Structure formats: structure tokens, C-alpha cells
Amino acid sequence: MSDETSNHELDEMKAANQALNSAEISAGPSEDEPIEVEPSEGGHMAEVEAAASAEEHPPIPDEELERIKRDIVAAIKTVYDPEIPVDIYELGLIYKVDIENDRSVHVDMTLTTPGCPVAGEMPEWVVNAVVGVEGVKKAKVELTFDPPWDMSMMSEEARFALNMF
């Protein structure tokens, strides 16, 4: 592989990682525009999108939905990789959170590496944290390694806590 090809692929990976520098939080229908939520100063943004059919379940009232979103982020921020003193949300391990009108929550997340020693446990920790939020009926976590996590996905708060400036 030539240096030119390597640099091009590296630039593409950096662009993809920057695009994923935010976790998405999706919720009920009738959202024309994504709503953005800032979980912390310098943290990554969370988008809200339509996720469930209004015919199956009535939409969650806006005020309650905003509270649930804040509480889910706060709950996820209580989960830590035992080897890193920063919560998994600020580390950028949470890629997407969908809140359905039936009050189920689906989380797409990754790990710092596929060989993470707590790979079998961490998704369960996230489920337990999310189902502890008032108004959430059930939660499901799916692990993905596409794209693979890298340090550019961390928030400024995480970089500061790890002295990585």
C-alpha cells in the first residue's frame, strides 16, 4: 500500500469518526427536525429522530420525553470501563440511543477494543442503568465495532480527565 493510499484512507477514517462524534437519541414520531441535547459542556451532541409509529402507541409528551432523554444520558454516564476513569458516554462508546413510543430503549454502543475484558458484562450494565430511568419499560443494547472506537471519539471532558490534550 502506498503512502498516498494510506493518507487517503486515514483522512476517510478521520472524517467518519468526526461524523460519529455524537450519540443519537431518537424518540417518537412527529419530529420534523432533529432536536439536539447537550449532555455536558464539551461533550458530544445527541440527536432526536422519529422512531416509532403513533398508531401503535401514543407519543410520549414532549416534557416527559426531554426528562427521559436527560435521565438516560445521566444513567449511562454512571457506567465506567473499569480500566478507564471516565464514563462510557464521555468516552464516545455510545453511538445511538432510540426511545420508542412504547417506552423501550435501544442502544448501539461499542467498546474501546473488541477484546475488552468486560465485553460480556458492559452491555448488561448499560441495560440496567437505562431501565432504572423512570418512564423506561425495557432496554436492549447491541454491540458494534463499525466504526471501531478511537480516541478522537472522546469528549473534551474525557480528554481533560485523562490528560490527553
What global pTM score does this model have? 0.69
pLDDT at res. 55 = 56
Single-letter amino acid code for the residue at 40: S
pLDDT score, position 142: 96
Minimal CA–CA distance to 93: which of 129, 50, 66?
Answer: 129
Domains of the chain, earliest start first: 3-161 (3.30.300.130)
Query: Taking the CB of residue 100, how many other CB atoms lie within 10 A of it?
Result: 19
Q: What is the pLDDT of residues 33-71, one digit of tens each?
A: 332 333 333 334 333 333 444 457 899 999 999 999 999
Which residues in the chain land under pLDDT 70?
1-55
CA 138 to chain centre: 17
Give pLDDT, residue 2. 42
Q: Is 29 within 8 Å of 6 (Cβ atoms)?
A: no
Distance CA 90, CA 79 (A): 10
CA distance 86 to 10: 26
Check residue 13 and give its pLDDT.
45
